[in-house]
Chain A
Amino acid sequence: MMQRKMRGRGVAASWYGIARTATIDRAGAWAELDDGGTGKIVTGVTEIGEGILTVLAQIAAEELGVRPEDITIGDNDTARSPEAAHAGATRQTYMIGNSVALACRDARTKLDAEIAKVWGVETETIRAFNGEIWSEGSNLRMSMEEAVDLCKKRGIVPVGSGAFTAHGTGLDPVNGTGSPWQAYVFGCQVAEVEVDTVTGEVQVLGIWAAHDVGRAINPRGVEGQIEGGVVQGLGQALMEDYQLDKGHTKTHGFAKYILPTSLDIPQINTTIIEDRDPKSPLGAKGIGEPALVPTAPAIMNAIYDAVGVRIKSLPATPEKILAALAERAMRTKGVAA
C-alpha cells in the first residue's frame, strides 16, 4: 500500500535568448546632468512592474556619478522621447539599460572635459560617485552640484545620447540556420512536491532556482522576477486552464480561472549566477521571461518521482493525477496477475 502523502523531486534546465528574436534590436536614450547635481534620463519605455525604472536609475546614477534618488526618468512617450521599442522579450535591462549607460557616458564626457580644464588635469583622471566628483591622485574634489553649475557657466550643458544595438540575424526559411541572439542565458530549477494520493492534490514545497542573469543590477529585483516567474510556472503546471466550448469561454472570471494564491507558494530559493555578457557595456543580460521556463517540467518530474505517474498534458489537476494513479494501479495489478 502506498502512503497517502508522497514526496518527490524533479529538475529541469532551460535556456533563453535576450532581446528581440532573429532580427536587429535597437534602443535609444538621452541623458543630461542637470542642475543641483541631478540626472535626467529620457527613453521610450516605462515600468511594466519588473523594476526597470529603478534599474535605469541605478545605471544612470553609477555612470553620472550621482545617487539613484537624484535621477528623474522621463519615459514612455512617442512624441517626447527617443525610441526604445517594446517592453518585452527580456530586453529592458539589456537594450534600454545599455542605451542609458552609453547616453550617460556621453554626458559625462562633456562635463568631465570642462572640469578637467578648470582643474588643469587630464580628463582621464576624473572620477565621480554618489554626488561627488574628483580627480584621481589629487585632492581636487567638488560636489556634482557645483560641477554642473561650473560647466554651465562655461557655456556647456552636459547632455548626451546613446543607442544600443543587438545583432540578431534572421533564420533561413528552409533549414532555420541563423544567429537569433547575441546573448543567451541558462537556468535550472529543482522542485520538491508532496502529492496527496487520495485527493490528487499537489503542493510544491520548495523550488531551488539557479539562473544566469549576466550581471544583477539589483539582486533583490532579480529575485522578485524569479519568484514571480516560478509562481506563474506553478500556476500553469497545476491549475490554470483557459477553456473554450465551441469558441465560447467557459472560464470568464477568477472563480473559474484558478490562479495561485498565497497558500500555494513554495519556498523559493534563488541562486543568481553572473556570467557577464562580453558584447555589451554593462555585462547584464536578463531574467524576466527565462525565470518561468523550467518550473512546470521540474514540477512534473517531481510528481513522477513522488508517485510514479507522468503528467504529459498540463495542467496536472487533481483529477488527472487521480486518473493516472488509478491507471497505474490497474497496470501493476495486471502485471502481478
Chain B
Amino acid sequence: MSDLELEMHINGRAVKRRAAPHLRLLDFLRDDLNMTGTKEGCGAGECGTCSVFVDGKLVKSCLMPVGKANGARIETIEGLAPKGGDLTEVQRAFHKTGASQCGYCIPGMVMAATSALRENPDAGIEEIKERLGGNICRCTGYTKIFEAVEIARDVIAGRLSAAALEPDPAGNSFIGNNVRRLDAPSKVSGRLRYAGDMVMPDMLHMQVLRSPHPHARIRVIDVSAAHALPGVACVITAADVPGEDGFGVFVHDQPIMARGIVRYVGEAVAAVAAEDVLTAKEALRLIKVEYDELPAVFDPEDAMKIGAPVLHDYAPTNITKHIPIRKGDVEQGFAEADLIVEDYYETQQVEHAYLEPEAGLAYVDHDDVVTVISPSQNITHHRHMLAKIIDKPINKVRFIMSPVGGGFGGKEDMIYQGMLALAAMKSGRPVRLVYTREESIISTAKRHPARITYKMGLKNDGRITAVEFKMISDGGAYGMSTEGVMRKAAILACGPYDIPNVKIDTIGVYTNNTPSGAFRTFGAMQAQFATESHLDICAEKLGLDPFEIRRRNMMQDGAITHTQQTLGKVSIGTVLDAAETASHWEAGAPGRGESRSDLGGEGTRAPCTLGARFAPAVAKVKKEVA
C-alpha cells in the first residue's frame, strides 16, 4: 500500500506529510510527529487518554484512521497553551487542586474538561461529570478533577478571581502546607515522557509471542523463519539467557520467557526485536512452537487435592505459602462465647488497570552497562535479579525508573524487563517494548482472589472471645508476591481488635490462572472485608450499633496484637469518633435502612439517572428550535 499524502493544521501550524495508511491519528501524532502528550491507554475508544480536538470536536484519536483527519484542524494537549506561555485556566486549575496524580490520564482529561467548558461555559457539576464520562482515571477518584473544572469554569466566566489559581501562602512551615504538586505542570501540559513516549536513535521495537495454553510442554521452538525476515534484528527465547533464569519477589520461580513449560495463557514464550512494530508482529507469526498440552488446574482447592497437576517441582502440593498465626486457645474462647457466628466470604481477582500499559526501553551503554528504563516500582530488587539472570556484575546492570503512569503494586514484578535487556544485548541496539492494553490485562498479575471461612465467638455484650479465620487464595501460575500477600493478610486479618484467642491461616496456591501479585493493600483488603462484614452480622444479632461493637473490641494503647506485638499509642478510638461525628451517624443496629434519620445529609451527592443530566439542556434547545 502506498503512503497517504496528508495535509492538516496541527496546533495552528500547517503540516504536510506522507504517512502509512494503516496509521491511526494517534500513531501519526505520537510516532510520526513525536507529539507524545496524547497517550494510548487502551486503543479501543474506552479510556479517553488519546482525546484531541478535530475541527473543534473532542475525538478519541485511537479510533480515527489518519486519512480521515486529512484536511482537518487538529488541536492536541501540546497546543492548548502557547509554547513558553502560560498554561490555560483548566490546566492551572488542575495544578492548583492536585488533580493529577500519575498523570497518564491527565492530557486526555484536560482535553475533555476543555471541551466541556467550550461546549457549555456554564456547565453545572452534573453536566461536567457526564462530559468527563468517557475518560477513565485510575488514581485520583476524580474528586480533585471535578473541583478543578469548576474552578476553571468560574475563573473563565469571571465569577472567581484568577487568584483562585495561585498557590496557597506558605505560612511558617512547608510541612502541612498544600504545596502544589511540582510535577503537575509537566503532566497537565503533556510534556512528561513516560517510557512508551521515549525514543532513542537506532531503536528497535519488540513484540512478544505468548502462550495460547494454560499448561503445556514446549517440544520445540523454531525461530529460523522469523529470524530470516528482513527487518528483524533478533529473536530471543529462554535459550538465550546466559545466567540463572528466575525472578520473583519471594521465590525465583519465573523464567523471563517460558523455559520448557508454559503455565498460564499469555505467558511469554519468545520475543522479536525489529525495525518497526509491524515487522516484529509479522515475525511472531513465523515462529513455530510445538506444544504438548498438559492437564491444568484452575481452582485453588482442586490444586491442593492429591493427584492434582503440579506446577512447580519444588512445591508438590501446589501450596506457595501457608502463614499460620496462633494466639491463646480458640477452643476455649468458643466455649466461653454466648454467640458463635460462622460464615463464608469471597473476593474476586482484580486488575490494576493503571492507565499506562507496561513499557520499557533497554540499551547497552558505552561502558557495557545493561540499562533498562521502565516504570518499575522496585529498581533495587530488579537490578539484583537481572544481574543474576544475565550473569553480569551488579554494577554492569542499571535500572532507571521512568515516570510511573499508575502502579498500585502491579509494576513491582520484573515481568518484561529481562526480555528487553536480553534483546538489547543480543542486537547491540536500543530496544523498546510497549504493551497493548489487552496484553497488559491478560499477562500481568492481579489482586489475589480470596475464599474466607470465618468463625467468631462473642459474649452477649459484644466482646469477641475467639476468631478462627482461614483464607485460600489463588496465586496463579507463579509465586510473585503471593508469600508476602499471605503474610500481610494473616497479620491484619482480624482487624484492629483486641481478641484473646485467634487461629489464622492464609494459604496461597499455584494454579494455571493468570498470576496474582502485589496490589495496593497486599491482601489486607480481602481479609478485612471478611472481618468487617462479619462484625456487622454479629452486631445485628446482638442488637448493637456497628460503631459500638467495634469500640467494645478495639485495641487500646499498649494492646497486644494478633502476632503478640505490644503496641504503643493506638488511634483507632479517635478515628472511629471522627468518622461517626463527621457522618452524623445515628446509632442503632444494622438493617434499619429507610427508617434512619441521618440519610441524604450534606456529605452526600444527589443520586443520578443516566442521561438525565443533559436533559434540561436538550429540552431547552428543542424549545428554542420550535
Binding site for B on A (CB under 8 A): 3, 5-17, 21-22, 44-51, 53-54, 57-59, 61-62, 67-69, 71, 75-79, 83-89, 129-130, 171, 173-180, 184-190, 192, 194, 203, 205-206, 208-212, 215-221, 223-224, 226-233, 235-236, 240-244, 246-249, 251-255, 257, 259, 261-263, 265-269, 271, 273, 275, 278, 282, 288-290, 292-294, 296-298, 300-301, 304-308, 310, 312-315
Residue pair B593, A176 in contact (C-beta under 8 Å): no
Residue pair A171, B563 in contact (C-beta under 8 Å): yes
Residue pair A262, B568 in contact (C-beta under 8 Å): no
Residue pair B44, A11 in contact (C-beta under 8 Å): no
1/0 contact trace for B329-363 toward A, CB 8 Å? 00000000000000111111111010000000000
Chain A neighbourhood of B405, CB < 8 A:
49
Residue pair B591, A15 in contact (C-beta under 8 Å): no
Chain B neighbourhood of A288, CB < 8 A:
520
A277 shortest CB reach to chain B, Å: 9
Considering only CB atoms, which chain A residue lies closest to B596 in the complex? A9
Residue pair A171, B175 in contact (C-beta under 8 Å): no
Which residue, of B132, B371, B518, B594, has the highest number of chain A Cβ atoms within 10 A?
B594
Residue pair B607, A194 in contact (C-beta under 8 Å): yes
8 smallest beta-carbon distances between A and B, as pairs: A49-B102, A247-B214, A176-B325, A227-B141, A297-B532, A86-B378, A206-B604, A231-B141
Compute how far the CA of A294 lies from the CA of B533 in the bound complex, rounded to whole angstroms.
Answer: 10
Q: State which residues 104-152 of B face A: CB under 8 Å.
A: 128-130, 132-136, 138-146
Number of A-B contacts (CB under 8 A): 479
Compute how far the CA of A324 lies from the CA of B437 in the bound complex, rounded to whole angstroms.
Answer: 34
Residue pair B181, A267 in contact (C-beta under 8 Å): no
Residue pair B401, A45 in contact (C-beta under 8 Å): yes
Q: List 26 A-B contacts (CB under 8 A).
A: A8-B599, A16-B492, A17-B491, A186-B571, A190-B582, A190-B583, A192-B599, A205-B600, A210-B575, A210-B582, A215-B175, A224-B140, A226-B141, A227-B144, A231-B142, A247-B298, A249-B265, A251-B441, A262-B133, A265-B143, A273-B571, A294-B532, A296-B529, A297-B533, A301-B590, A312-B343
Compute how far the CA of A88 lies from the CA of B519 in the bound complex, rounded to whole angstroms.
Answer: 9
Known: A44-B380, A47-B183, A289-B522. A314 touches B438 (CB 8 A): no
Residue pair A273, B578 in contact (C-beta under 8 Å): yes
Residue pair B582, A269 in contact (C-beta under 8 Å): yes
Residue pair A242, B446 in contact (C-beta under 8 Å): yes
Chain B neighbourhood of A129, CB < 8 A:
172
B451 shortest CB reach to chain A, Å: 9
Question: Of B146, B265, B536, B570, which one neighbours A304 at CB under 8 angstroms?
Answer: B536
Compute how far the CA of A21 lies from the CA of B521 in the bound complex, rounded to whole angstroms.
Answer: 12
Residue pair B129, A240 in contact (C-beta under 8 Å): no
Known: A22-B491, A88-B377, A88-B378. A186 touches B604 (CB 8 A): no
Considering only CB atoms, which chain B residue lies closest to A57 in the complex? B182
Residue pair A244, B514 in contact (C-beta under 8 Å): yes
Apart from A11-B547, A21-B522, A216-B176, list 12 A-B contacts with CB within 8 A.
Answer: A10-B546, A11-B550, A46-B404, A48-B407, A78-B399, A178-B564, A203-B607, A205-B605, A236-B347, A269-B582, A275-B569, A297-B532
The segment out of B4-12, B225-233, B416-424, B482-490 that lies at the interface is: B482-490
B42 at the interface (CB under 8 A from A): yes
